[in-house]
Amino acid sequence: MQALYDALARETQPHRETPLTLLILPNLAAFRDQHPHIRLAIQTQYAVMSLPPALPVVAVRCGAFDEAGLTVHRSPEETHLAVASPDWIARHGIDPAKWPPRSMLRHTDTAWPTRLGKQRLPHPEGLEINDAALLLSAARNGLGVIWTRHRLAQADLHAGTLRRVPDCHAPSGRFYALVYRSELSQHPAITTFRDWLLPHLVPVETP
């Protein structure tokens, strides 16, 4: 039996986090040990790969895609949040209205919101970076505050290298989806992989 993994990721830069690095690899050893009869072949794609008929193939995708003939399990919508190093927060505080605009770092594909609740944010004028991992590194090194997806910052938040700014968060409009052909929904390889992966699609909130 074989389960193939296809990541549709709009992040085309090589250092960015993908569903593979965030969801699969950290937990794959346990799955392999528990299910040695299932042979996994991992494939990554930056375009949607059509799932072949009659084969136990699954895909993890993000963004919009044609769902015809597919069974789709979506993760909860991810949260965007403002995070910065503890030292940066100690120096500049947690009131966005008082942040130096040049300290508001920017991701090329993810704009800061203009408002959070009733609070209007300064127009960001900080360094622009097109790589999510480098943006996190810049924040860890105290270069400024960033607006990023919770799942991407989760490891740093747990480690204490980054802190989230209270009340600075909003829905991201992004989710991951596990998909496979509906006619194969009872295939043993697919049901086993599905039941293992679905809990990992749920983000773990960090204070």
Backbone angles phi, psi at 111, to 5 degrees: -80, 145
Question: Angle at Cα 47 formed by Cα 28 and Cα 23, nearest 5°?
Answer: 20
The pair of three-digit structure tokens given for residue 146, joined into one six-digit string: 């960033």
Helix (H, G, I), strand (E, B) or coil at 85: coil
pLDDT band for 15, please (50, 70, 90 cuts).
very low
What's the CATH code, domain 79-171?
3.40.190.10
Sheet with 79-84, strands from edge to edge, namely 146-149, 79-84, 163-171
pLDDT band at 113 (very low <50, low <70, confident <90, very high): very high
Lowest model confidence (mean pLDDT) among 13-17, 125-129, 136-140, 162-166? 13-17
Q: Where in the chain is the domain with CATH 3.40.190.10?
A: 2-76+175-201, 79-171
Report the run of H or E that residue 191 belongs to, with start and end: helix 188-197
Q: Tens digits of per-residue pLDDT, 145-193?
A: 999 988 889 889 999 999 999 989 998 887 888 999 999 999 999 999 9
Q: What does 103-159 look like in DSSP terms, one character per residue?
A: GB-EETTBPPPSEETTEEPPPP-S-EES-HHHHHHHHHTTS-BEEEEHHHHHHHHHH
Assign 142 a pLDDT band (cuts: 50, 70, 90): very high
pTM: 0.69
What would the two tokens of residue 163 be?
Answer: 């802190």
| Amino acid occupying residue 23 | L
Instruction: Tell me the per-residue pLDDT of 71-95, one tens digit each, with 9 for 90 and over.
Output: 999 888 888 999 999 999 999 999 9
Looking at mean pLDDT, say which of 45-49, 99-103, 149-153, 171-175 comes out highest. 99-103
Residues 6+ apart with CB under 8 A from 202: 75, 76
Q: How far apart (Å, rounded) are the C-alpha atoms in residues 128 and 93?
A: 22
Q: How many CB atoms lie within 10 A of CB 113?
A: 15
CATH, domain range 2-76+175-201: 3.40.190.10
Closest by Cα among 152, 153, 155 to 164: 153
pLDDT level of residue 5 (50, 70, 90 thresholds): very low
What is the per-residue pLDDT for 78?
A: 83
